[in-house]
Amino acid sequence: MAEKDVTILGIETSCDETAASVVTNGRQIRSSVVASQTKLHEKYGGVVPELASRAHVEKILPIVEQAIAQADVTPDEIDAVAIANQPGLTISLMVGVTAAKTLAFAWDKPLIAVNHVHAHLQSALIESESVELPAVALIVSGGHSNLYDAESVLDLRLLGKTIDDAAGEAFDKVATILGLPYPGGPNIEKIAREGNPKAIRFPRSLMDKDSLDFSFSGLKTAVLYHCQGQDMKGENRVASMSHQEIADIAASFQAAVIDVLVKKTHRAAKKIGAKSVLMGGGVACNGALREAMEAMCQKENLAFISAPKSLCTDNAVMVASLAYYKYQAGQFADLTLEPKATSD
């Protein structure tokens, strides 16, 4: 007998996107609605938690209603409500957690809590039929740069993480230094296409020989010194730089980040004898990173599976999809669920 379909409503509010999605059996995307707050935070050059939280409050119900309408399902047909309750901005997470608990209670459905960073990894797995194990997973976003030994999406062992800035955070901060609009990542990638990645040799922090941790703050400071002089007393030269000069700095910075991400992923793959490399998170949108990782994997005979660009940045498909595996494993939360700023 065919197994019963499982349809899950996923909700995501961990940072500055309010998102809801309905996914059946972990893979069939019935709807995906994302309300981005980019415009709201643009003039501050970064996410302002109080504004983010207030915008989530305004958007959460319309976005959930839209996701349900687009999926053409009734609450009766939904088997569980899933929420990313960690990590993230507590006052943003709180809005989604409250909405998910309320809906689960009102509809009398089970509640499933997922880890937002693990959900980013699930984005890479939605379209792939099978993964040859062991697998190394690189999750690179605005808040995280994590390497995992991925036994399955419910069984992740952290191998390394950033000791200071996350990769996406470095992109965003360097974009601010270069006077590029928020969010920095896509804008650096765009202008970097016109620049020479070898124009400036920015430092690549690989740390100890065996380290799988990341550090990007030295690179960010190197870009700052390059733009303002070693003593930081000099004029900020960016305003008087040519478009080409800025493009060269962006391309050289991006090349340094990519070099480190690829080298560390390779190091991790060797350490655990990996057969596959998985990649997800907002920075995984970056075309030059995708190409460099793919080239390394081909050379090293590793299968490479990246999240599709459409699912790299924050969305609720990844939440509803990961929740399906928790549903199958009987891993449910209860109405005492709280938001949590850090990962368990």
State whether the Cα torsion 210-215-219-221 is positive or negative.
negative
Q: Which is nearer to ligand KG4, 171 or 304 (CB)?
A: 171
Residue 306: phi and psi, rounded to 5, are -110, 150
In whole angstroms, the minimum distance from the beta carbon of 317 to Zn ion comes to 12
68-87 binders of ligand KG4 (CB under 6 A): none
Tell me: does residue 285 bind ligand KG4 (CB under 6 A).
yes
- Which helix or strand (DSSP H or E) is residue 160 part of? strand 155-161
Cα 269 to the center of its chain, rounded Å: 21
Tell me: does residue 52 bind ligand KG4 (CB under 6 A).
no
Of 10, 96, 195, 281, the one binding ligand KG4 (CB under 6 A) is: 281
In whole angstroms, the minimum distance from the beta carbon of 168 to ligand KG4 comes to 3
Tell me: does residue 314 bind Zn ion (CB under 5 A).
yes
134-173 binders of ligand KG4 (CB under 6 A): 141-143, 168, 171-172
Contact window for Zn ion (CB under 5 A) among 2-10, 178-186, 220-228, 310-318: 310-318
Binding partner of 317, given ligand KG4, Zn ion, none, CB within 5-8 angstroms per partner class: none
Draw the binding track, 261-300, toward Zn ion (x: CB under 5 A; -: no contact). Answer: ----------------------------------------
Tell me: does residue 314 bind ligand KG4 (CB under 6 A).
yes
Binding partner of 197, given Zn ion, ligand KG4, none, CB within 5-8 angstroms per partner class: none
Residue 233: phi and psi, rounded to 5, are -95, -20
Give the residue carrying structure tokens 């952290």. Answer: 158
Of 141, 145, 265, 306, the one binding Zn ion (CB under 5 A) is: 141
Tell me: does residue 169 bind Zn ion (CB under 5 A).
no
In whole angstroms, the minimum distance from the beta carbon of 22 to ligand KG4 comes to 20
Question: CA 238 to CA 227: how far, in whole Å?
Answer: 6
Please check whether residue 124 is in contact with residue 305, taking contact to mean a CB–CB distance below 8 angstroms.
yes
Phi-psi region of 198 (alpha: psi -120 to 50; beta: other; left: phi over 0): alpha
Tell me: does residue 19 bind ligand KG4 (CB under 6 A).
no
Token digits for 328?
């199958």
Tell me: does residue 256 bind ligand KG4 (CB under 6 A).
no
Binding partner of 278, given Zn ion, ligand KG4, none, CB within 5-8 angstroms per partner class: none
Please check whether residue 266 is in contact with residue 300, taking contact to mean a CB–CB distance below 8 angstroms.
yes
| Residue 234 CB burial class (10 angstroms; 0-12, 13-18, ≥19) | exposed
Of 183, 195, 197, 339, the one binding ligand KG4 (CB under 6 A) is: 183
Binding partner of 110, given ligand KG4, Zn ion, none, CB within 5-8 angstroms per partner class: none
Token digits for 292?
């460099």
Question: CA 104 to CA 17: how far, in whole Å?
Answer: 21
In whole angstroms, the minimum distance from the beta carbon of 314 to Zn ion comes to 4
Token digits for 208?
């100890």
- Which helix or strand (DSSP H or E) is residue 133 part of? none
Question: CA 84 to CA 191: how far, in whole Å?
Answer: 33
Token digits for 75?
């609450």
Q: What are the residues binding ligand KG4 (CB under 6 A)? A: 15, 141-143, 168, 171-172, 183-186, 189, 281-283, 285-286, 313-314
Could you list the residues that contact Zn ion (CB under 5 A)? 141, 314
